[in-house]
A and B are shown apart, each in its own frame.
Chain A
């Protein structure tokens, strides 16, 4: 039997923001539906309403033409609506099996048989008796999916499932989702990644500022058309001017960079050499886990290595710590915004003050000069179009895009000569990505240099002047951006070689 899910005139208002404004949508099993929108468009709120976590102010949900009440997550479960949240709802210290058994009424033995059947059917490989904290993100997501599957769901909602997955894991997930759909489960797929919509889904509903702005078949859509609907204005495609750096002055030269780690989870770096000219952007591509983390930390001074020479503006800086390097006009934007770049529990201006320079006078005689810091923070917020002017706001309440703008702004406001950034647009929506890209291009135009370590090839091709690939801790030869193609990059990233 077909499953039909209908939401009708759903509204949810939070203080100061209309999260859902009379949202009406209809879904029928057999198809995979995409719910597309930028961060803050209201997708997550709608999904929380469907899973009973949040109650709507107005509107109704119909399952197979019957109105259903979703007052708690239990109601959603009773109605066979399964949900995989973006942030996993797993108990890290419990075993996989305990995580599954906690909300199942079945006997442990019966449940184990059922789970093993599911593992076999969908070709999942997970050890049921190890604690969840030992699993990779992809495996954790599978645990979440299995938790839904043991309840024979009619509807399966996936909230931004690929934001934590590698490319291989994403492919696997898509295969599974298509299989579920074939087995009669109605799939609603929430994302802001346009490519995924086109490759996975049959129909797409676009949300913007709490409203549904379009519903269409994905065959009729292209990346550009979806992007325009999502952002609401025609995106100007950014193009970078090709520069000639032959005659510019060299700003950074790294020679004999070697790093050996005792930690089995870290990658050793072998004999890295590179140089960078004024106004140039060097892209470093590679599949994550090939030494990017270590390279970034060595560049930023978090790791000091023996025998390495890093010449920056004709000064040997390899022994300087991050703060001293910043004083010397280097700037860093790490990969993990929440744990490495900013402290989420601190207010915006306090996070700004973390980058304190001798010249900034944020602290006088051991006391905090709040007025000065706040002025400085306000300047960053307005110069880098962060979507708030409240410097007292805790940073954890900023969306990913706004937090990244704040971090990049904090780094750039001191006009550094070199910015090193690592996956600067990871997990951001199109609008924020565009803004960050424009900013990165602007600094090159102003004659400042940048190193862009990224796992996003489109981004690298768009922004870099020269590109090299890091593979198993080694750098490939450096290629000019105008002669590089996605295919060449792909070969190098897989450990192959090109001429």
Chain B
């Protein structure tokens, strides 16, 4: 195996691709949590997005419909969560867990008829540039449009939360729903919107897996990425940029340890497989150790049920 520059470029490109579902799901969940809602159903929403994207692709033979449809199905399933937690005031944690179990079961059921069907090739952009520029080419070019979107998303999210009025309102609701309500803000509406947005992003993350990353349907193909996304949000202390860093570290070490396994290093495989989890947590804890910042970024009302005085 030659460690030339171009190979490293390709490696970095692969790392970027593998972190896309994490970035998408975590960015969506970050907005949801910033409004004070803890939705543990990320894994469930992702896998529903994955199967509905793939199924739509097979049925309609149209990738655009497949992508939009996966977002829509993520949104619909998060609406169930919204109805339960916001209108019927159920416990966020229990409802989210139920959503994940529901999503995994549901996707397996729908997916039965789609096992073994080959996926469709997803268009990749700037393929000629990827080939012609060494090192930088494979890093910046030859990716799907969703990857470019995913890498822009944390910056957009950051700008949205910090600089826009709507972002301010979301942060205010997450800080104190009672105060927000007393200020005339419709807390339930804000939280519903954030839940639905989170659902749509998780759906898209799932579609990335089943349409682009490994274009096929495999039962349980999200493989715990939803839980990683949830952990990223917390360990990144609700900062979108740190979510991006965390996702890249996780994706990077996942890919690297696979190469290390392939090379045949004399390190137990189990230890190598655990490495991405350990390293991501260590790095995020280290870069987020400013207790003042944590206090300012943490949505104070996270997971609390809000009901309005009548």
A interface residues (Cβ-Cβ under 8 A, vs B): 48, 51, 53-55, 72-74, 77, 85, 88-94, 98, 101-103, 131, 133
CB–CB A85/B182 < 8 A: yes
Inter-chain CA distance A85–B309, complex, in Å, is 15
CB–CB A103/B176 < 8 A: no
CB–CB B310/A103 < 8 A: no
Q: For residue A73, which residues in chain B have a CB less than 8 angstroms away from its CB? A: 181-184
- Which of B182, B295, B310 lies at the interface centre, i.e. has the most chain A CB atoms within 10 A of its CB? B182
- Which residues of B in the span 193-235 have a Cβ within 8 Å of any Cβ on A? none
Chain B: interface secondary structure? Answer: helix
29 contacts between A and B (CB under 8 A): A51-B182, A53-B182, A53-B309, A54-B309, A73-B181, A77-B184, A85-B182, A89-B176, A89-B178, A89-B183, A90-B176, A91-B172, A91-B175, A91-B176, A91-B179, A91-B180, A92-B176, A93-B295, A93-B297, A93-B298, A93-B300, A94-B171, A98-B171, A98-B172, A101-B168, A102-B165, A102-B185, A131-B296, A133-B295
CB–CB A93/B296 < 8 A: yes
CB–CB B183/A92 < 8 A: no
- Which of A88, A91, A101, A131 lies at the interface centre, i.e. has the most chain B CB atoms within 10 A of its CB? A91
Q: For residue A55, which residues in chain B have a CB less than 8 angstroms away from its CB? A: 310
Inter-chain CA distance A48–B310, complex, in Å, is 11
Inter-chain CA distance A101–B167, complex, in Å, is 12
Inter-chain CA distance A93–B183, complex, in Å, is 16
Inter-chain CA distance A73–B178, complex, in Å, is 12
CB–CB A103/B295 < 8 A: no
Question: Of A48, A103, A131, which is within 8 A of B183 by CB?
Answer: A103
Distance (Å) between the CB of A206 and the closest chain B CB?
A: 26
Inter-chain CA distance A91–B310, complex, in Å, is 22
Q: For residue B171, which residues in chain A have a CB less than 8 angstroms away from its CB? A: 91, 93-94, 98
Inter-chain CA distance A49–B168, complex, in Å, is 27
- Which of B180, B183, B298 lies at the interface centre, i.e. has the most chain A CB atoms within 10 A of its CB? B183
Given that A73-B184, A89-B183, A103-B184 are known contacts, is A94 also in contact with B168, CB under 8 Å in the complex?
A: yes
Whether, in the assembled complex, B169 has its beta carbon less than 8 Å from a beta carbon of chain A, the answer is yes
B interface residues (Cβ-Cβ under 8 A, vs A): 165, 168-169, 171-172, 175-176, 178-185, 295-298, 300, 309-310
Q: For residue A77, which residues in chain B have a CB less than 8 angstroms away from its CB? A: 184
Closest Cβ neighbor of A131 among chain B residues: B296
CB–CB A74/B184 < 8 A: yes
Closest Cβ neighbor of A108 among chain B residues: B165
Q: For residue B176, which residues in chain A have a CB less than 8 angstroms away from its CB? A: 89-92
Distance (Å) between the CB of A15 and the closest chain B CB?
A: 12
Q: For residue A101, which residues in chain B have a CB less than 8 angstroms away from its CB? A: 165, 168
Question: Of A72, A85, A90, which is within 8 A of B184 by CB?
Answer: A72
Inter-chain CA distance A318–B182, complex, in Å, is 49
CB–CB B310/A54 < 8 A: yes
Distance (Å) between the CB of A470 and the closest chain B CB?
A: 31
Inter-chain CA distance A51–B309, complex, in Å, is 13
Distance (Å) between the CB of B300 and the closest chain A CB?
A: 6
Inter-chain CA distance A92–B296, complex, in Å, is 8
Q: For residue A54, which residues in chain B have a CB less than 8 angstroms away from its CB? A: 309-310
Distance (Å) between the CB of B52 and the closest chain A CB?
A: 37
Given that A55-B310, A89-B178 are known contacts, is A94 also in contact with B172, CB under 8 Å in the complex?
A: yes
Inter-chain CA distance A98–B170, complex, in Å, is 12
Distance (Å) between the CB of B183 and the closest chain A CB?
A: 5
Closest Cβ neighbor of B173 among chain A residues: A91
Inter-chain CA distance A73–B310, complex, in Å, is 12
Inter-chain CA distance A92–B299, complex, in Å, is 10
Inter-chain CA distance A102–B182, complex, in Å, is 12
CB–CB B179/A94 < 8 A: no
Inter-chain CA distance A54–B310, complex, in Å, is 6
Q: What would 16 more interface pairs be, CB under 8 Å, given A54-B309, A131-B296?
A: A48-B309, A51-B182, A53-B182, A54-B310, A72-B184, A73-B183, A73-B184, A88-B179, A89-B179, A89-B183, A93-B175, A93-B295, A93-B300, A101-B168, A102-B165, A102-B168
- Which of B165, B179, B181 lies at the interface centre, i.e. has the most chain A CB atoms within 10 A of its CB? B179
Closest Cβ neighbor of B297 among chain A residues: A93
Distance (Å) between the CB of B135 and the closest chain A CB?
A: 43
Inter-chain CA distance A221–B175, complex, in Å, is 44
Q: For residue A51, which residues in chain B have a CB less than 8 angstroms away from its CB? A: 182
Closest 4 CB pairs of A and B: A74-B184, A89-B179, A91-B175, A73-B184
Q: For residue B184, which residues in chain A have a CB less than 8 angstroms away from its CB? A: 72-74, 77, 103
Distance (Å) between the CB of B293 and the closest chain A CB?
A: 10
Inter-chain CA distance A114–B168, complex, in Å, is 20
Q: For residue B168, which residues in chain A have a CB less than 8 angstroms away from its CB? A: 94, 98, 101-102
Distance (Å) between the CB of A70 and the closest chain B CB?
A: 12
Closest Cβ neighbor of A132 among chain B residues: B175
Closest Cβ neighbor of A55 among chain B residues: B310
CB–CB A90/B182 < 8 A: no
Q: For residue A98, which residues in chain B have a CB less than 8 angstroms away from its CB? A: 168, 171-172
Q: For residue B175, which residues in chain A have a CB less than 8 angstroms away from its CB? A: 91-94
Given that A72-B184, A73-B181, A93-B175 are known contacts, is A102 also in contact with B297, CB under 8 Å in the complex?
A: no
